Structure 1
């Protein structure tokens, strides 16, 4: 079974350069392949594997390809993919040291590596979670505990009913996952103070100062390192000054932009990020670790642990000085041993390799932006500071039709968005496999689409 699985996987990876990035099957065709009654009897596992691989193939996106630019999604580094396969075979549960001793220690070491690589405090606590959504939930749960404890309220004991109101100050161009995490934590939209953003999506610091000065009480500020459309980074140093001056908690959404801190060339963009109280980011984006892999870090381990920990008589848990039990830091009990793949990625790349991956992606984005801007009717809408390129054509109809032609060609896959009430296209570069040839193929697809769209009205 495992030998055959390896051959199927190798064939898939070898096909990426020549196959369309988007699978050709429609949703009805895919449903027809799988929509059968649940079998009554067992089947040969090898046959199940062969048929599964055959039936999913037309509906697979070439996300591991160097020509997938649709969302900020990395591929899978060879060492990380191999470690991820072994993670499934080993089947360890690092929620408790007793259920996964090696997995627990690997996470402990890898968390330290990440703090060092990204310039975060060495004393920061951390959690391996499913992605940035769960990382926001973790960091903001610690924030909720901390700001309420400062005014004498034990939220873990008493809940939110009757608690002093928490105000959360956010930018107008924040990611939706921040709001969603706050909602999960019982902090509704009415608690948000929304600060205007500039054209690039950066939080307006002058308006932030006014918002912080307008009210008092427990306060959380959410800043951003890497706006989802433009890649812009908030002025984290000034935001840290203002937040600390009001006794608030600063949480940073660094889903992909945090990785700029690993680059000597780009780390100035996130200056001040180390001054935050909590950070949320992904490894399945720029570190190119297979899904699902997110990280939450917290500069206040006591608040982090108080918000997350759980105990029961039947559990085997250590105390202070004992091996680390991840259940004290994550929202999950049972979970995948995500640390193995992250460890393998960092070990295979090293400090220089991570920096090169980030810098190379940004260089490809700048080159694409410079070239696509020469196409008739095309306007690049952002200063390309990281790996995001935002652009549009003369009108919404043309923009959408050009995007559709490119995606339909199979040469590349990008996603659309809406900015200032108008349609736009966004290109994200964060795959370790993306090279000059991939960018050239994407540009050629756009040239062909632009030439073809007017011809067809």
Structure 2
């Protein structure tokens, strides 16, 4: 069995290195459709065992045409980073070490590395000292975590224990969010039993920034338990809500302020860009991803809460058979995350932060924003293109003369293999959404992608 591990891990390392080394030459998008992939991977379950190294080799060969080159410097779809070398290495070791990070007793080193990485992130983001944190699969689960803490807090303030009594018969909770909020906020509210029918929607401007005057009008109503969801980085435009003004509006109403900072909160790591998220430190909770701008492998999200008590009260779990607490009051992640058994995500986050340092994180964020501005400037030379947003961070939103042309040009670029981007809709019209979040992206990648658009636009 040990020989199997030697063979499998050695061969896997070679396959992985070849894949990463060939990203500049291979198409960024997939080259096989669903039917072909099913044929390559399907068939009856084998009757007997297969040599492990052969399984890995044949799996890699079968899936290769169905892989998207997300680690490529010319992948601009959604807001997705690529794994930094140190983070990838740590993530591989996380799998090999196979620690259950739910309990300190199942992985003391995993628990302590999360403590260190959590404090590093808090400091990097300029969040309040003493804030609690949770390493979770992604921003969706981070919202769930933070809003569970918010639910506990605002209902406890009016004498209701929601963990014990549930929501049936509870005082109504007023939940306020922007018309341009991310869909994961709605999903978290559904999972928490709030539903979306009672959500109070505040209008946003053309860039996606919440109308603070409208928020003040909503909060001026009768006092009641209130949660306000603001945004640092709108998903299409990259625009930031005025978080300082929103915090000012929330304070007299006693509202819990939650910030969706999935990618945008990372600007707080940059001296040149942190003004965009000024006031974020005054919120009560924050949700963001590490698999975006920190370039940690999937999946890796983080939740922070300025109030550890409601955070722990909303999430903690105990059982007689579990080994919890002990010498030095170790931190059991089961008390802070929705997960029970869980992957030790802190190792990869720790490695990414250690490899980049404070300066490296800032430079990564700033470099991506520079590339986004170069894209916007270069699109001016692409026939028929129109940039729709003020490029404040890493998001570029653009379209062509009509929906058919926009769709055709985007499809042509993807089919060329030169780049991968996603489409979206703005004011009922098709648009193209370009996100620069990858540490690998270079100015040459920008120029190659612009050339692909110029070619597609005149074809």
Output the TM-score relative to the length of structure 2.
0.98
* Alignment partner of 2:195 out of 168, 188, 193: 188
Q: Distance in 2 between matches of 1:295 and 1:77?
A: 18
For the residues of structure 2 that align with 1:216 and 1:175, how far apart are their CA atoms? 27
Q: Please say if 1:359 is aligned against 2:355.
A: no
Rounded to whole Å, the distance in 1 between the matches of 2:222 and 2:383 is 50
Give the alignment's Cα RMSD to 1 decimal.
0.9
Whole-Å separation in 1 of the counterparts to 2:26 and 2:184: 33
* 2:14 is equivalent to residue 2 of structure 1: no
Would the aligned equivalents of 1:166 and 1:191 in 2 still touch at CA under 8 Å?
Answer: no
Cα distance in 2 for partners of 1:216, 1:391 equals 42
Choose from 398, 401, 421 the match for 1:391.
Answer: 398
Distance apart, 1:378 and its partner CA: 1.1
Match of 2:18 in 1: 11
Shift of 1:373: 2.2
> Which residue matches 1:295?
302
- 1:387 and 1:445 map into 2 onto residues whose CA distance is 20
Corresponding position of 2:350: 343
In the alignment, which of 201, 209, 219 is matched to residue 226 of structure 2?
219
Q: Distance in 2 between matches of 1:320 and 1:130?
A: 29
- Provide the aligned length of Structure 1 versus Structure 2: 452
Residues 22, 410 of structure 1: 8 Å contact kept: yes
User: Counterpart of 1:374?
Assistant: 381
2:146 matched residue in structure 1: 139
**2:172 aligns with one of 152, 165, 171:** 165
Q: In the alignment, what sits opposite 2:136? A: 129
Shift of 1:189: 1.2
2:266 aligned with 1:259:
yes
Q: 1:436 aligns with which of 431, 435, 443?
A: 443
Maintained 8 Å contact 2:148/2:314: yes
Aligned residue for 2:64? 57
What SS class does the counterpart of residue 243 from structure 1 fall into? helix
Measured against aligned partners, the alpha-carbon deviations of 1:297-316 in whole angstroms (never above 9, x if no partner) come to: 00010000000000010000
Matching of residues 296-315 of structure 1 within 5 Å:
296-315=303-322
Q: 1:190 offset after TM fit, Å? A: 2.0
Residues 338, 218 of structure 1: CA spacing in aligned structure 2 closer, same or farther, 3 A cutoff? Answer: same
Q: Which residue of 1 aligns with 2:5?
A: none
Please name the residue that 1:102 is paired with. Answer: 109
1:34 shift after superposition: 1.5
Structure 1 residue 38 corresponds to structure 2 residue 45: yes
C-alpha displacement of 1:191: 2.1
| Cα contact 2:175–2:198 (8 A) shared by 1 | yes
Cα offset, 1:136, TM superposition = 0.2
TM-score after normalising by structure 1: 0.98
The runs of 4+ residues in structure 1 deviating greater than 6 Å are: none
The answer (yes or no) to whether the contact 2:383–2:454 under 8 Å persists in 1 is: no
The aligned residue for residue 276 of structure 2 is 269
Relative to 1, partners in 2 of residues 1:287 and 1:160: Cα closer, same or farther, differing over 3 Å? same
Of 159-168 and 29-38, the range deviating more from structure 2: 29-38
Partner secondary structure for residue 296 of structure 1: strand
Counterpart CA distance in 2 for 1:64 and 1:377 is 30
Question: What is the CA–CA distance in structure 1 between the aligned matches of 2:216 and 2:162, rounded to whole Å?
Answer: 28
Match of 2:421 among 414, 424, 440: 414
| Pairing 1:202–2:209 present | yes
State the partner residue of 1:402: 409
SS of aligned partner of 1:191: coil
Task: Give distance in 2, aligned partners of 1:329 and 1:225.
Answer: 23
- Asked whether the equivalents of residues 387 and 396 of structure 2 are also in contact (C-alpha less than 8 Å), the reply is yes
- SS, match of residue 323 in structure 1: coil
Post-superposition CA distance 1:69-88 (Å, at most 9, x none): 01100000000000000000
Structure 2 gap ranges (5+): 1-7
